[in-house]
Amino acid sequence: MRIFDIEKTSLNDFNASAKDILEAFYLMPYPEKEEREYQKPPAKVNIRDNQIEREVHGAMHASRVAAYVDHFHALHTKYDEKIETNVNLLAVSFNTTPKTLLTLIKYAALFHDSARQGEGEDHWDSQSAENGRRYLVKKGVPEKLAKFVAIAAANKGNTQKDQITFNQEITLLNKTQKLNVDAKQADYLRRLIGDSDCLEIIRCRKKFKPNFMHFYQKYQNNANAMIDLASSCRMAGEVIYLQHDAIHRCILDTDNKFMNAFLPNGVLVPASSYDNDSKLQYEHADNPYSKTTEMLVNNEFYVKLKPFVENKSFTTKTTPPLTPADLHYNPFVLFGMFLFLDIARSFHRKPFITTGILFVMHAIVTASLGTPLTLTTLACLLGANIMACLVARMFYEVFYDIKANDLTSRFREPTQNQHDTLPSHKVLRFSLNKKDKAHPLRDNHSKYRCSLRL
């Protein structure tokens, strides 16, 4: 079967296609009366008449959301090397290329508000996704691939309901289209759209809470990832402010210590800058997408992340340094390691076995908390576990010395007179001797040997 490659279609020119989409949907007025049921927007002959029809969810908003898809994919690729593998596997499932898959997700993001009937709460996610599906199929995208992109866009939210619905629809898609798509891997693309849309809340809220974002939930214990997210919020606020699209002054509202340390005052947008006349240069530009995203894609931080997508080797070389918040600096974890050593003391005569077991367990837990397993991380883990093993070994030495002295004082060999007066079955013979190798019982956990005889 022939592989579908977007580079061989007109869709490869995203800027030109985005212009057509924005003019067909986002420069058109809302229906006179807002209805839950989708109504095709009324036609407008002169779409550039100096009247912005969609003030909050117009062409500027849709353009920035589409551009953020590339940005968040770069962020995820920087901190999770499995992302590239997962996207490649998904592309194989749909018989396409990774670039095609990510570009189609950008199209889905561009369409995400196309079916809106008014401002405020969005009740038209499914119809917006359907608009995107129809457009992609018309442009030659295979039905199964266009359907998947529509499912991702329709369930872009970060709620449990969105997650369940998405998984159910992917299962149905696999059944009807005879595919083998992993819903867990595909979930990443759904969340790319959701996070991109979520970042745009900065333009219309007084407080921005990043804890609703998938990127935040995944990397909230990773200092460098949170600093990058704070930088993304600041970048978005700066662009929105300079493009006169900020309705309110907006501050960052989060309990994350890394983000708060990076942005002490939390200001994302210093003041309201909203002005319809000033927005016209973007909304009614010859190509609203190119004009709106020009400032964003040339932003220093946005440009800085490009190598993480374009060059895989750059990703592996640039990993976040360790921070005191990482697992292996936690004293409670070190205590837990000692406790585990006490439970597994049957290995204490072979410290490297214990160290190996703890090293593997510690590495797995550390990786699960978002800390990258760099050579520095592994070296710290190995050093901490060797020290724990040595300290525990010293503890056992002291413990068994005390135990030996206590037993020797309480169980002395009876005198000859005492031995003669006691029945033979009540005679207790006990001896502790470091050098005596003749005793039948041997405590494998220490260098002491003991024998009991009644």
Both 187 and 228 in one domain: the answer is: yes
315 compared with 234, residue with greater pLDDT: 234
Both 168 and 54 in one domain: the answer is: yes
pLDDT given at position 318: 34
Q: Is the pLDDT of residue 316 over 50?
A: no
Both 227 and 365 in one domain: the answer is: no
Q: How many structural domains comprise the chain?
A: 3
Q: Is the pLDDT of residue 175 over 80?
A: yes
pLDDT in tens, 119-139: 877 888 999 999 999 999 999
53 compared with 388, residue with greater pLDDT: 53
On whether residue 24 sits in a domain, the answer given is yes
Q: Which residues contact 291 (CB under 8 A, 6 or more apart)?
A: 281, 282, 285
Of 265, 292, 317, which closes a domain?
317
Both 273 and 388 in one domain: the answer is: no
What's the start-to-end Cα distance of the chain, in Å?
83
121 compared with 396, residue with greater pLDDT: 121
**Quick one: pLDDT band at residue 69, thresholds 50, 70, 90?**
very high
**Quick one: pLDDT band at residue 315, thresholds 50, 70, 90?**
very low
Residues 337, 355 contacting (CB under 8 angstroms) = no
Residues 222, 99 contacting (CB under 8 angstroms) = no
pLDDT given at position 411: 47
DSSP assignment of 120-133: SS---HHHHHHHHH
CA distance 33 to 43: 15
Q: Is the pLDDT of residue 79 over 80?
A: yes
Q: Is the pLDDT of residue 414 over 80?
A: no
pLDDT given at position 430: 43
pLDDT given at position 312: 42
Strand partners, 208: 252
293 compared with 401, residue with greater pLDDT: 293
Both 216 and 248 in one domain: the answer is: yes
Both 256 and 399 in one domain: the answer is: no
pLDDT given at position 396: 61
Q: Which two tokens stand for residue 248?
A: 């309110």
Q: Tell me the backbone φ, ψ of residue 392, rounded to 5 degrees.
A: -65, -35
With b for 16 or more beta-carbon neighbours within 10 A and e for fewer, the 41-70 pattern comes to beeeeebeeeebbbbbbbbbbbbbbbbbbb
Both 378 and 266 in one domain: the answer is: no
Both 169 and 287 in one domain: the answer is: yes
On whether residue 92 sits in a domain, the answer given is yes
Domain range for 428 is 419-453
419 compared with 392, residue with greater pLDDT: 392
Q: Is the pLDDT of residue 442 over 80?
A: no
Q: Is the pLDDT of residue 159 over 90?
A: no
Averaged pLDDT for residues 106-124 = 89
Of 298, 317, 336, which closes a domain?
317
**Quick one: pLDDT band at residue 3, thresholds 50, 70, 90?**
confident
Q: Strand 267-269's sheet: what is its strand order?
A: 207-208, 250-252, 267-269
85 compared with 376, residue with greater pLDDT: 85
Average pLDDT along the chain: 79
Residues 122, 136 contacting (CB under 8 angstroms) = no
On whether residue 1 sits in a domain, the answer given is no
pLDDT given at position 363: 67
Both 118 and 95 in one domain: the answer is: yes
On whether residue 254 sits in a domain, the answer given is yes
pLDDT given at position 188: 94
pLDDT in tens, 374-395: 666 667 666 766 676 666 666 6
pLDDT in tens, 282-293: 999 999 999 999
Pick the range with the lowest mean pLDDT from 26-35, 50-59, 200-209, 270-279.
26-35
**Quick one: pLDDT band at residue 303, thresholds 50, 70, 90?**
confident
DSSP assignment of 198-209: HHGGGGT-SEE-
CA distance 62 to 64: 6
pLDDT given at position 32: 75
Both 301 and 332 in one domain: the answer is: no
Both 366 and 442 in one domain: the answer is: no
On whether residue 382 sits in a domain, the answer given is yes
Q: Express as a percent the part of the chain with pLDDT over 90.
A: 50
CA distance 14 to 351: 60
Q: Which two tokens stand for residue 19?
A: 């212009």
C-alpha distances (whole Å) from 307 to each of 71, 75, 89 are: 11, 11, 21
Beta-strand runs (E) in 177-258 = 207-208, 250-252
Both 361 and 383 in one domain: the answer is: yes
Strand partners, 267: 251
123 compared with 64, residue with greater pLDDT: 64
On whether residue 241 sits in a domain, the answer given is yes
pLDDT given at position 2: 79
Beta-strand runs (E) in 141-252 = 207-208, 250-252
Q: Is the pTM of this model over 0.85?
A: no
On whether residue 148 sits in a domain, the answer given is yes
CA distance 130 to 6: 20
On whether residue 322 sits in a domain, the answer given is no
pLDDT in tens, 189-226: 999 999 999 999 999 999 999 999 999 999 999 999 99
